[in-house]
Amino acid sequence: MKNFAFLLLTPLLGTTLLAQEITGNWQGTLQPPQGPALRLVIKISLDNDKFKALAYSIDRNPQPIPATTVTRDGTTVKISFSAIAGSYDGKLSADGSSITGTWKQETLSAPLKLTRATPETAWAIPEAPPPPRNMRPDVEPGIEVATVKPSAPDEGFALGAGQGGANVFITRGTSVRTLIQFANGVHPRQIIGPSWIDSERYAVTIKADQEGAPSIPQERILMQKLLADRFKIVTHREKKELAIYALTIAKGGPKLAAHPGPPSNQWGYGFGLGSINGRNTTMTEFAGWLQANLMEQPVLDRTGLTDRFDFSLRYTPDPSMRLTNIPNARPGPATDDSLPDLFSAFQQQLGLKLESTRGPVDIVVVDSIERPSEN
């Protein structure tokens, strides 16, 4: 069953109320439809006549998450958090001591009453752990140690960094085509190789010889080196015209929220049935993620946008889509057929367009490859 992944809230305040009546600390307990109750703390401040807020899900992750918007209209308080598709809509009480409303996240909703905290009643916020240290961007990581093992038939799919240490990259239940795809930043259709690169799956663990969390380009370097060393892969590239999707700006301009945090090489996505939540991502990174996880043909970024953004997208999935880069994984029945299809949602919610066209793309041709040597 679905549950709230992480939560942020920030009240939006009424125009007839003084700013000092809503600034301060608010707290309340959210009871999701399934799972344990979650205690939330929201700190509201005023900066240059603009409300800001930080939310803490203190029973899950003490790391603060900034609100995307904090607005007010009379006694109505509204808050949005683009990166998690979350929102709060409440009413401020006459005495200004509480806000009663509803928290919504994707297809879930639950009542939430926020109470103004005093020094005596305020919940303690656990100290947040320091953010992971990033690998220096000017270094090319090498492999300190690596293991490659055949995956069990029922082993779930995984691919990413951070498990077992900031400089450790792992995959599970991963086809060789997916390893080549990740290493080269291409769509599966941009790879030509022997049939067994689809049928055989492996679990890979790579520990880098540099400290800190690698960026996506540094992760690709590690995978390239592993493929060369353990699979003895030799490739070359050719240009070929293929059906593609071009990511462009729709009429009216983009509807994207700038990422409020400091610059970072760490970015990611929350992905569910009919929803995509992007955090701290460029459009080039987003296009790469779309072609790796969702679309049936390569996606090229032609927006010209270079900033980092947070956003949430909700749509009715088409059963023909790839749901992940696991072969044959498809969306199930739509949970809310009132939502637009993916292409309409891009225009309505993000101010972007996915246009089907044709264009030249790189093709990775596998000249030779061997099954991996024993560890």
The CATH number of the domain where 27 resides is what? 2.40.128.120
Give the sign of the dihedral formed by CA 183, CA 186, CA 189, CA 193.
negative
Is 14 domain-assigned?
no
pLDDT at residue 191 in the model: 96
Q: Residue 17 has what pLDDT?
A: 39
Number of other CB atoms surrounding residue 102 within 10 Å: 12
Task: Give yes or no: residues 300 and 344 share one domain.
Answer: yes
pLDDT score recorded for residue 98: 94
Residue 2: inside a domain: no
pLDDT for the residue 312 = 83
Contacts of range 266-269, beta carbons closer than 8 Å, 24 or more positions apart: 266/132, 266/134, 266/213, 266/215, 267/216, 267/308
Same domain, 260 and 355: yes
Each as own residue / partner, the long-range contacts of residues 152-161 (CB below 8 Å, 24 or more positions apart, any chain) are: 155/201, 155/203, 157/324, 157/325, 157/326, 159/325, 161/213, 161/214, 161/219
pLDDT of residue 320: 64
Residue 4 resides in a domain: no
Note the pLDDT of residue 252.
Answer: 92
Is 188 inside any structural domain? yes
Domain end marker among 66, 99, 116:
116
- Cα of 153 vs its chain's centroid, Å: 28
**What is the span of the domain harbouring residue 88?**
19-116
Report the predicted TM-score, pTM, of the whole model to 2 decimal places: 0.66
Closest C-alpha among 93, 72, 82 to residue 28: 93
Final residue of a structural domain among 65, 99, 116: 116
Residue 205 lies in a domain: yes
260 in the same domain as 232: no
Same domain, 331 and 232: no
All residues at 6 or more sequence positions from 146 whose CB lies less than 8 Å from its CB, including other chains? 204, 205, 206, 207, 226, 229, 230
Whether residue 128 contacts residue 176, with contact meaning beta carbons closer than 8 Å, is answered with no
What is the torsional sign of CA 176, 178, 182, 186? positive
- 285 shares a domain with 330: yes
Residue 6 lies in a domain: no
Distances (CA, A) of 9 to 44, 147, 256: 10, 43, 19
Residue 124 lies in a domain: no
Torsion of CA 192, 195, 201, 207, to 10 degrees: -40
Q: Are residues 275 and 328 in the same domain?
A: yes
Say if residue 224 is in the same domain as residue 328.
Answer: no
Last residue of a domain, one of 97, 116, 135: 116
Write down the pLDDT at residue 300. 94
For residue 102, the surrounding DSSP H or E stretch is: strand 98-105
pLDDT of residue 2: 44
Q: Please tell me whether residues 276 and 336 are part of one structural domain.
A: yes
Q: Which helix (H) or strand (E) holds 204?
A: strand 201-208
**Are 201 and 216 found together in one domain?**
yes
Distance CA 23, CA 116 (A): 9
Per residue in 276-324, pLDDT tens? Answer: 888 888 999 899 889 888 888 999 999 999 998 988 888 888 766 655 5
On whether both 58 and 96 belong to a single domain, the answer is: yes
Q: Which residue ranges in the chain fall short of pLDDT 70?
A: 1-20, 82-85, 106-107, 131, 161-165, 261-268, 270-273, 319-337
- Are 189 and 258 within one domain? no
Residues 286 and 208 in one domain: no
Tokens representing 63 are: 């790391």
User: How many domains, in total, are found in the chain?
Assistant: 3
257/254 Cα distance (integer angstroms)? 9
Domain presence at residue 3: no
Could you identify the residue written with the tokens 């109505």? 76
DSSP string, 30-61: E--SSS--EEEEEEEEEETTEEEEEEEETTTE
